[in-house]
Amino acid sequence: MMRTIRVQLGAASHDAHVGANILDELGNLARAAGLKPGSCAIVTDATVEKLYAARVEDALRKSGFAPVVISVPPGEASKSLAMLEQLYDRMTAAGLDRNSVVFALGGGVVGDLAGFAAATFLRGVPIVQVPTTVVAQVDSALGGKTAINHRHAKNLIGAFYQPQLIVADVATLATLPDREFREGLAEVIKYGAIMDAPMIGDLERDLDAILARNPALLEQVVARSLMHKAAVVGADEHESGLRKTLNFGHTVGHAIEASAGYGSYFHGEAVAIGMVAAARLSSKYAGFSADEASRLQRLIERAGLPTAMPSGWYSDDFLRALALDKKRTAGAIEFVLLDRIGHSLTRSLSFDDIMSSVS
């Protein structure tokens, strides 16, 4: 079975397919989306290459594509200008032209890097996102944000560039390490918290099977998450308003990541702590019931995610990181809160307000 979500973005509208083992259909799906066969690139990282590149090559060849595999080292460090330059070199050497498709096979690192390369190579060649992590399948593959990092800041250099197609094979999640799998669930819980109350109930019911990576349930959860992200992005492609609600849990989350040193907490783990803090602030400032706040916290705990930093941890570094948050406005921070599960709003909060929720 396969589910298809239509991402409505005017001329940039495209499909997102979700299913188990649809990797083997990639060539057919790309042809059906109107992409031209011929020379193309599979951009991936060394870990994902070993696991899935051969299957993707076969699937593409079967449909008349002639792929070259371009592999980068796994990890955030590959979102660099140096790696981008290597990509351009390899794409040029492979003789790619303006119709040549770039297939981004991997997690968010590969998706962001290959997406930016595709956005800029020959002023833009088509990109197909083939996400293989939970984070990439429920979040980064959809929305058109592409970027590399700069020594001064994450994602400093980038572009909005929509894919022609998204193909999320949930069977690939079977090989994802446990910690990476669980961190992705933070974003899944986020969608339920901000816009889909029944989804929280379903997650409570199905969590054990999801953690066991039951393909049918993964398909359901990924499709539902993508549907929500598609709705938000479709209404606000360039993040002028509504799309900010996707930052639920991220204001505190980003500050934790930055002040703890990138890498010591995974993004999803920091967001999990941030969501618990935001739930507490929601009770204080948005009438969110204490019962619902603890319900959300219990679900986050059951997903194996952290809900708090060690006591006494919050420091000047954390405050500084919070102050640098780009959503800040003259002394206060625009914060996404819940007034009930499944419904969000934004409020301006001060540093003191926020500190009271975390320490």
Ligand X SMILES: NC(=O)c1ccc[n+]([C@@H]2O[C@H](COP(=O)([O-])OP(=O)(O)OC[C@H]3O[C@@H](n4cnc5c(N)ncnc54)[C@H](O)[C@@H]3O)[C@@H](O)[C@H]2O)c1
Q: Point out which span in 169-177, 218-226, 307-315, 326-334 binds ligand X (CB under 6 A).
A: 169-177
**44 is a site residue for ligand X (CB under 6 A):** no
Q: Which of 48, 138, 230, 293 binds ligand X (CB under 6 A)?
A: 48
**145 is a site residue for ligand X (CB under 6 A):** yes
Nearest Cα residue to 274 out of 199, 191, 336, 185: 336
State the catalytic residue, choosing from 90, 145, 182, 280: 145
Q: Which is nearer to ligand X, 267 or 280 (CB)?
A: 267
Is 244 labeled as catalytic in the residue annotation? Answer: no
Apex 265 CA angle, 273 and 311, nearest 5? 55
Is 123 labeled as catalytic in the residue annotation? Answer: yes
Nearest Cα residue to 219 out of 175, 188, 177: 188
Shortest distance in whole angstroms from residue 45 CB to ligand X: 5
**136 is a site residue for ligand X (CB under 6 A):** yes
**135 is a site residue for ligand X (CB under 6 A):** yes
Q: Which of 176, 222, 227, 273 binds ligand X (CB under 6 A)?
A: 176
Q: Say if CB 17 and CB 227 are below 8 A apart.
A: no
Instruction: Look at residue 237 and give its three-state secondary structure.
Output: coil
Q: How many residues does this entry show for the chain?
A: 359
**180 is a site residue for ligand X (CB under 6 A):** yes
Q: Which of 57, 139, 196, 237 binds ligand X (CB under 6 A)?
A: 139
State the catalytic residue, choosing from 31, 239, 295, 347: 239
Shortest distance in whole angstroms from residue 137 CB to ligand X: 9
Dist CA 88 CA 108 (whole Å): 19
**76 is a site residue for ligand X (CB under 6 A):** yes
Dist CA 137 CA 222 (whole Å): 7
**341 is a site residue for ligand X (CB under 6 A):** no
Question: Residue 339 phi/psi, 5° resolution?
Answer: -100, -20
Q: Which of 8, 39, 47, 99 binds ligand X (CB under 6 A)?
A: 47
Largest alpha-carbon pair distance within the chain?
A: 60
Q: Which is nearer to ligand X, 116 or 335 (CB)?
A: 116
Shortest distance in whole angstroms from residue 8 CB to ligand X: 18
Angle between helices 178-195 and 197-211 (to 10 degrees): 170
Residue carrying the six token digits 């994902």: 48
Binders of ligand X in range 88-127 (CB under 6 A): 106-110, 112
Dist CA 42 CA 61 (whole Å): 12
Is 267 labeled as catalytic in the residue annotation? Answer: yes
**217 is a site residue for ligand X (CB under 6 A):** no
Is 14 labeled as catalytic in the residue annotation? Answer: no
Q: Which amino acid is at 110?
A: V
Q: Which of 172, 220, 225, 251 binds ligand X (CB under 6 A)?
A: 172
Residue 50-69 contact track with ligand X, rule CB under 6 A, x = bound: -x------------------
Is 250 labeled as catalytic in the residue annotation? Answer: yes
Residue 106: strand pairing partners: 131
**143 is a site residue for ligand X (CB under 6 A):** yes
Is 17 labeled as catalytic in the residue annotation? Answer: no
Dist CA 298 CA 113 (whole Å): 35
Is 343 labeled as catalytic in the residue annotation? Answer: no
H helices of the chain, in order, are: 26-32, 46-48, 54-62, 81-93, 108-120, 134-135, 178-195, 197-211, 215-235, 250-260, 267-285, 290-302, 316-324, 351-358
Q: Which residues bind ligand X (CB under 6 A)?
A: 45, 47-48, 51, 74-76, 79, 106-110, 112, 132-133, 135-136, 139-140, 143, 145, 155, 172, 175-176, 180
Active site residues: 123, 145, 187, 229, 239, 243, 247, 250, 254, 267
